[in-house]
Amino acid sequence: MPTEEDRNLKPAPIDRNRELLKTAREEVYKSIGGTHLSAYLWTPEGDKIPPYPMSVIAFFFSSGWDNGQVSQFAPHCVYFASRGMLAVAFEYRVSAKHESTPLHAMADARSAMRWLRLNALELGLNPGKIVGAGGSGGAHIIASAAMLKGFDEMGEDDSMPCSPNAMALFNPILDTTKKGFGADRFPSPDLAKKASLLNAIGPNLPPTVVFHGTNDRVVPCDTSEYFAKRMRRKKNRCEIVTYEGLGHGFFNFNVSFDVYQSTLNVLDAFLVEEGFVEADPDANPSLELY
């Protein structure tokens, strides 16, 4: 029989972050200054495993380079693993936990891309079919790996490409100048300007899809619209999908399942078109991409 003391004990709080990562395999992809950064990997099962090296989708959680949860994109990872991709959620340095700056986070995204390629044979992946995905600051750091030079970790071998082969950006931070978001989080205004993606749009960038809510009060939607327009002018494929009246973080599983599912459907169709994954025979054939 439980005692009075037993009855008064409260259950231990659930670590939501840890629970969402339970189905993933954890590996350390980078160790620096006593900090170990983890990659959480979901692999296809059974008949979902393709007979050729897998495409990869690598997620970087939303942040202002200050805090966030690596488990944010766990539901997305589970889905894309079921579609025959290797899905990975990467941890990266944030100021609240590591006393870091956006420059450290940018370097981590580049290290993560190189780690995937260096371990391609062991992981069974195609190093030429890596999709980089992220939200807000996470979107910034993976896009910066494709668009910017000179932000590598000191001593890292930069002969290995760090650019993803396609990008999926959710309400991305694109302008880090004084007119945009987060300039004060960089060590200097000059570095913030150099890290701004609006200043780095050129030809031959990866095909990109951008998701943004029109009522985003953190990162204005018109910044993404301008980015997509400039990308297309440089002959890059860049699609933008807007969600009327929705704010920052609208795409998260725990915000609206319907919107989460909508963004998954669009991203899935985009990746089918770009040859990263085969069409789902069970999908709705009338589904429109945009």
pLDDT digits 0-9 by tens, 187-238: 999 999 999 999 999 999 999 999 999 999 999 999 999 999 999 999 999 9
Q: CB–CB of 202/234 below 8 Å? A: yes
Q: What percent of the chain has a predicted confidence (pLDDT) above 90?
A: 84
Q: CB–CB of 58/112 below 8 Å? A: yes
What mean pLDDT, rounded, does the chain reach?
92
* Closest to 140 measured CA to CA, from 71, 221, 63: 63
pLDDT of residue 255: 87
Residue range 2-50, pLDDT digits in tens: 455 544 555 544 455 667 788 999 999 999 999 999 999 999 998 899 9
Structural domain boundaries in the chain: 28-273
The token pair at 115 is: 């780690």
Apex 65 CA angle, 18 and 95, nearest 5: 80
| Fold topology of 28-273 | Rossmann fold (3.40.50)
For the beta sheet containing 25-32, the strands, ordered from the edge strand earlier in sequence to the opposite edge, are 25-32, 35-42, 86-90, 54-63, 125-136, 166-170, 208-213, 238-243
d(CA 111, CA 127): 14
The model's pTM = 0.91
d(CA 219, CA 181): 7
Q: At what angle do helices 257-273 and 74-82 cross, to 10 degrees?
A: 50
d(CA 228, CA 212): 12
pLDDT of residue 7: 44
Considering only residues 21 and 240, tell me which one the structure prediction assigns the higher pLDDT.
Answer: 240
pLDDT of residue 5: 53
d(CA 136, CA 29): 22
Q: Cα-flanking dihedrals φ and ψ of residue 145, to 5°? A: -65, -30
Strands 166-170, 208-213: parallel, antiparallel or unpaired by DSSP?
Answer: parallel
Averaged over 237-249, what is the pLDDT?
A: 96
Work out the number of other CB atoms within 10 angstroms of the CB of residue 200: 16
Q: Tokens 């870091």: give the residue.
A: 100
**Chain-centre distance for alpha carbon 41:** 14
Q: How confident is the model at residue 287 (pLDDT cuts 50, 70, 90)?
A: very low
